[in-house]
Structure 1
Amino acid sequence: MSNVYYKRYEGNDPEVLSLLAKELFEHIVEHEDVELKKEIPIKVHFGEKGNITHMPPQSYNGLIDALKDREIDTSYIETNVLYRGSRTTKDNHVALAKDHGFTQIPIIIADGNMGEDVYEVEINKEYFDKVKLGKTYADYDQILVTAHFKGHAMAGFGGALKQLAMGFASRSGKLAQHAKLKPSVKGKKCTSCGVCIDKCDVDAIHIEDHAIISSDKCIGCAGCIAVCPTGAISNDWNGENFREKITEYAYGASLNKSHIYINFLTNVTKECDCIGQHLDIIAKDVGVFVSMDPVAIDAACLDILQKNEDEALFDKGRTTLEHAKRIGFGSLDYKLIEL
């Protein structure tokens, strides 16, 4: 059984949330004898351009202070997104993060300029033998994984597990989770410019009436998606067993690591912070949670949210938790401790 600690707070003032997160971090370090490393990045989501319900940078000040008080080096760490947007490339991603106020500490984009920097972790599970993660994550044995717990159209909910899965994955790893198929080209949007050909390292693309991707040669790196100037290249977002694949990627991202997990159960929206527009709040704020177990902390957040709001809310995300149990990852048995 895993411990999940939380502080109740029915509000969303980032300064208050910052203090609560710091208190919870210090509590779990002391009460679970967590050995802290000399360098601990903070995994965050900077929010897509136009989104205002992601966790604001002030929410992390307490955690940053807690690490600096211990003379622990820290930084923000993230990976680029798979889709075309303001966070597709490193430079644009960092610029957006700073635009949103994430300027307190350095920013690391773990998978390089366009998601090409990869390291693999062997897991030998049902859907993946190996997972592909942002290369810089290999440099750290411990990361403070923070998540804004909210809804997600495909995953059901986004919390610690999705932060590990999508947030740690390289572009090719994100594609592997999302799709059974390789990228495809929308002929009417393709201008036959050849940029994708120059980007492809395995000569999987050629031009006929428009760009054609060879499914036999394509390795699913998704670099062509990032560089296409017209957005003609995309992937199948409705890939099979998406939620189970998230679980296995999260398992790989946490394997042999001593990550600490903090969930902010506030500003709960139906959709993800990747949506670059106004999102309505659909539930009352609950507070801040911390655990050493990503499965337990997500289960606790989902349980308390459903109890407070609607027993069916985000329920398809249960698939992710159930698959975790099947593969021996984390624990669905938890002790919820209010501080």
Structure 2
Amino acid sequence: MEKSTVYFTDFRCKVGTSQLDKLKKLCIAAGIKDIDMEGKFVAIKMHFGELGNLAFLRPNYAKVVADLCKELGGMPFLTDCNTLYPGSRKNALEHMDCANLNGFNTITTGCQIIIGDGLRGTDDVEVPVENAEYCPTARIGRAVMDADVFISLTHFKGHEATGFGGAIKNIGMGCGSRAGKMAQHNSGKPVIETDLCHGCKRCAKECGSDAITYPEKKAVIDYDKCKGCGRCIGACSFDAIHNPHSNSNELLCRKMTEYAQAVCHGRPCFHIALVQDISPNCDCHGENDAPILPDIGIFASFDPIALDQACVDACLAAEPIRNSQLGDNLAKPEWHCHHNHFMDSNPNVEWEATLDHGEKIGLGTRSYELKRI
């Protein structure tokens, strides 16, 4: 497979030029105007941020992309699908309220907002997955699949289960309906080491399924309710929770990539990633820890695998921020250094599986040429 082209611009702005100007210039240089959008629905997939989280992308960026689509004759809308956990985005009404409170509305973004899988997260389409090994079909939000053109607008960051949250995470997990998210997460479920449990109830607060109780002041998981998302593992300060399925994070990454394949295959797609506010964990958290790396820039490409690879390479070459989850881990005398920022921030991840599998099934290539704008 030939190298893909990834376009990049940093965040430096001379007086009189804004980051929004640079984003528009980057998208045009990367070829967004080559897409025929005349009279067509254009889904712009992004994350509106959980309430309490401040690391998500500002709506100003979405407006740049939406306005470009309208200039090309398209009918853009912002979209995301409902979550499995009971945060502020578990149904369409609360999801829309969350988006509005975080600054996303028709005035700030220049387009409508549609929750992709409907009111209860059940409005989905079963989509065949080209070259699938794990998910012959994917359950994708209907509004996402009804669009003629698909654009991903991604906040690139760390992630407690997949290592990094990039374009593939935004597309594959983000466009899955609630049933689709369940299918991606069900490859393993955590267990509790009772002797290590302090009964602090932090894990229950993070659980999205109300699956953890404390009948005898020790955490107990109800496996009929548990979805295997792993958020409780990251919440525990005492290493009392772990996943006995050593390949569960790897399987999650591979399934997520196949879901992204289902979303992208057979229609025009374009992908943008802003590598800034690189928090250690997902924007689905109701908080965001300090960035683990400095802001890097904006990337764009027609190839989501090449895009994620370019973002990864830029992050791995960056200097860790000392007062952060990554910096704190590296400063521990007993820390076993992985020489990999994502694994040193969240040691149990298997992030390369995402890129390896994406290349294998034909979603894109890890080989790329970087063009600076």
Aligned counterpart for 1:176 among listed residues 172, 183, 197:
183
- 1:212 shift after superposition: 10
How far apart are the structure 2 equivalents of 1:314 and 1:61?
A: 30
How far apart are the structure 2 equivalents of 1:76 and 1:155?
A: 24
Which residue in 2 is equivalent to 1:220? none
How far apart are the structure 1 equivalents of 2:360 and 2:65?
A: 33
Aligned counterpart for 2:363 among listed residues 329, 332, 338:
329
* Secondary structure, aligned partner of 1:40: strand
Aligned counterpart for 1:319 among listed residues 353, 356, 367:
353
User: For 1:73-111, what per-residue CA distance to the aligned partner results, in whole angstroms no more than 9, with x for missing partners?
Assistant: 111111001111100000000011011110132110110
- 1:161 shift after superposition: 0.3
Which residue in 1 is equivalent to 2:41? 39
User: For 1:252-274, what per-residue CA distance to the aligned partner results, in whole angstroms no more than 9, with x for missing partners?
Assistant: 11111211100001111111111
Q: Which amino acid aligns with 2:133?
A: E
- 1:325 shift after superposition: 2.2
- 1:29 shift after superposition: 2.5
Instruction: Describe how 1:125-164 pairs up with structure 2 within 5 A.
Output: 125-164=132-171
Instruction: Describe how 1:93-104 pairs up with structure 2 within 5 A.
Output: 93-104=95-106
Instruction: Describe how 1:36-75 pairs up with structure 2 within 5 A.
Output: 36-37=37-38, 38-75=40-77
Which residue in 2 is equivalent to 1:118? 124
- 1:157 shift after superposition: 0.3
Displacement over 4 Å in runs of 4+: 181-189
Instruction: Describe how 1:1-339 pairs up with structure 2 within 5 A.
Output: 1-9=3-11, 16-29=18-31, 33-37=34-38, 38-104=40-106, 105-123=111-129, 125-180=132-187, 186=211, 233-238=225-230, 240=248, 241-309=251-319, 311-314=339-342, 316-339=350-373
How far apart are the structure 2 equivalents of 1:66 and 1:163?
A: 21
- 1:62 shift after superposition: 1.7
List gaps (5 residues or longer) in structure 1: 190-210, 214-232
How far apart are the structure 1 equivalents of 2:153 and 2:47?
A: 8
Question: Larger RCO: Structure 1 or Structure 2 (Cα < 8 Å, ≥ 6 residues apart)?
Answer: 1
Q: Which amino acid aligns with 1:109?
A: I
Stretch deviating more after TM superposition (169-178 or 324-333): 324-333
Against the structure 1 CA distance between its residues 212 and 78, is the aligned structure 2 distance closer, same or farther, given a 3 Å change threshold?
closer
Which residue in 1 is equivalent to 2:196? none
* Secondary structure, aligned partner of 1:101: coil
How far apart are the structure 1 equivalents of 2:53 and 2:278?
A: 13
User: For 1:154-186, what per-residue CA distance to the aligned partner results, in whole angstroms no more than 9, with x for missing partners?
Assistant: 010001100111111010000111113799884
**C-alpha contact 1:18 1:60 (8 A) present in aligned 2:** no
Stretch deviating more after TM superposition (325-334 or 60-69): 60-69
How far apart are the structure 2 equivalents of 1:306 and 1:116?
A: 38
* Secondary structure, aligned partner of 1:119: strand
TM-score by length of 2: 0.74
* Secondary structure, aligned partner of 1:300: helix
How far apart are the structure 2 equivalents of 1:332 and 1:168?
A: 22
* Secondary structure, aligned partner of 1:247: helix
User: For 1:47-79, what per-residue CA distance to the aligned partner results, in whole angstroms no more than 9, with x for missing partners?
Assistant: 000001111112222222222223321111110
User: For 1:297-327, what per-residue CA distance to the aligned partner results, in whole angstroms no more than 9, with x for missing partners?
Assistant: 0000001110123650125311210112222
How far apart are the structure 2 equivalents of 1:187 and 1:148?
A: 30
How far apart are the structure 2 equivalents of 1:26 and 1:188?
A: 52
Q: Which amino acid aligns with 1:306?
A: L
Against the structure 1 CA distance between its residues 30 and 188, is the aligned structure 2 distance closer, same or farther, given a 3 Å change threshold?
closer
TM-score by length of 1: 0.81
- 1:187 shift after superposition: 8.7
* Secondary structure, aligned partner of 2:282: coil
Q: Which amino acid aligns with 1:21?
A: L
Stretch deviating more after TM superposition (21-30 or 140-149): 21-30
Which residue in 1 is equivalent to 2:198? none
Against the structure 1 CA distance between its residues 184 and 163, is the aligned structure 2 distance closer, same or farther, given a 3 Å change threshold?
closer
Which residue in 1 is equivalent to 2:203? none
Against the structure 1 CA distance between its residues 290 and 235, is the aligned structure 2 distance closer, same or farther, given a 3 Å change threshold?
same
Against the structure 1 CA distance between its residues 175 and 19, is the aligned structure 2 distance closer, same or farther, given a 3 Å change threshold?
same
Against the structure 1 CA distance between its residues 186 and 266, is the aligned structure 2 distance closer, same or farther, given a 3 Å change threshold?
closer
Against the structure 1 CA distance between its residues 95 and 322, is the aligned structure 2 distance closer, same or farther, given a 3 Å change threshold?
same
How far apart are the structure 2 equivalents of 1:333 and 1:212?
A: 41
- 1:131 shift after superposition: 0.8
Stretch deviating more after TM superposition (115-124 or 88-97): 115-124
